[in-house]
């Protein structure tokens, strides 16, 4: 089993069961490899978590780039990104998010920073595209709106604001995208939004 396969399988385990409850013993057993082989790939569990989530972010960025390239217009792009993110949220166990924030805060911070930079760039480009296509309002400050978008996205995974026991992350995100598009789109853009979401 190569390194990429190991990281993929470990990612599945973490997403399903959380980070804290999955030990290196569990991982080697589930993967059918010895702990020695596992430790040849990574130094410790913390390194493994870091690598797994770095790979996850790289794949996410590649997938979003593909969505942007294939989209018909800015509204279509925004909806397809929202569908992609919703599918990701469906995959993540609430325990995984909780464990990451509570026990691996440094890794969470690093991932969050990478994520923020990428999402900011994607949203800013989408806003510029939408304005150029006559689908979004011309008076938007794209820098401010993109930063607001990133900030509000972080609110969705904030346990103090939206406790997991009371809110479904998926529904929260869908509601948020509706809110975002209704704030930036012109009537022409909203018509496309209705058409694409039917």
The whole-model pTM stands at 0.85
For CA atoms 125, 129, 135, 136, the dihedral sign is positive
In this structure, are residues 65 and 38 in contact, taking their beta carbons and an 8 Å threshold?
Answer: no
The pLDDT assigned to 137 comes to: 98
Domain 44-197 is classified in which CATH homologous superfamily?
Tetracycline Repressor, domain 2 (1.10.357.10)
**Given a cut of 80, is residue 157 above it in pLDDT?**
no
Q: How far apart are CA 56 and CA 95, in angstroms?
A: 17
Nearest to 46 by CA among 131, 108, 136, 98: 108
Read off the pLDDT of residues 22-67 as tens digits, 9 standing for 90 and up: 999 999 999 999 999 899 889 999 999 999 999 988 999 999 999 9
Write the DSSP string, 107-164.
HHHHHHHHHHHHHHHHHHHHHHHHHHTTSB-TT--HHHHHHHHHHHHHHHT-TTTS-T
**Given a cut of 80, is residue 161 above it in pLDDT?**
yes
Go through the chain and tell me how many residues it has: 198
Read off the pLDDT of residues 120-133 as tens digits, 9 standing for 90 and up: 999 999 999 999 99
All structural domains of the chain with their residue ranges: 44-197
The pLDDT assigned to 24 comes to: 95
Phi and psi at residue 33, in whole multiples of 5°? -125, 160
Confidence of residue 14 (pLDDT cuts 50, 70, 90): very high
Confidence of residue 78 (pLDDT cuts 50, 70, 90): very high
**Given a cut of 80, is residue 99 above it in pLDDT?**
yes
In this structure, are residues 61 and 118 in contact, taking their beta carbons and an 8 Å threshold?
Answer: yes
């Amino acid at each position: 089993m190569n390194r990429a396969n190991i990281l993929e399988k470990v990612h599945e385990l973490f997403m399903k069961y959380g980070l804290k409850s999955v030990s290196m013993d569990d991982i080697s057993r589930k993967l059918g490899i010895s702990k020695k082989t596992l430790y040849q790939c990574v130094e410790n569990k913390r390194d493994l978590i870091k690598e797994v989530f770095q790979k996850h972010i790289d794949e996410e960025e590649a997938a979003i780039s593909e969505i942007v390239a294939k989209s018909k217009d800015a509204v279509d792009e925004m909806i397809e990104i929202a569908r992609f993110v919703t599918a990701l949220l469906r995959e993540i166990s609430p325990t995984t998010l909780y464990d990451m924030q509570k026990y691996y805060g440094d890794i969470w911070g690093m991932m969050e920073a990478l994520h923020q930079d990428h999402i900011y760039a994607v949203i800013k480009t989408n806003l510029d595209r939408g304005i150029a296509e006559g689908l979004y309002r011309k008076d938007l400050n794209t820098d401010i709106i993109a930063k607001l978008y990133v900030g509000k996205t972080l609110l969705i995974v904030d346990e103090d604001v939206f406790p997991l026991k009371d809110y479904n992350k998926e529904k929260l995100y869908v509601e948020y995208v509706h809110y975002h598009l209704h704030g930036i789109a012109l009537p022409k853009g909203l018509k496309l939004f209705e058409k694409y979401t039917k």
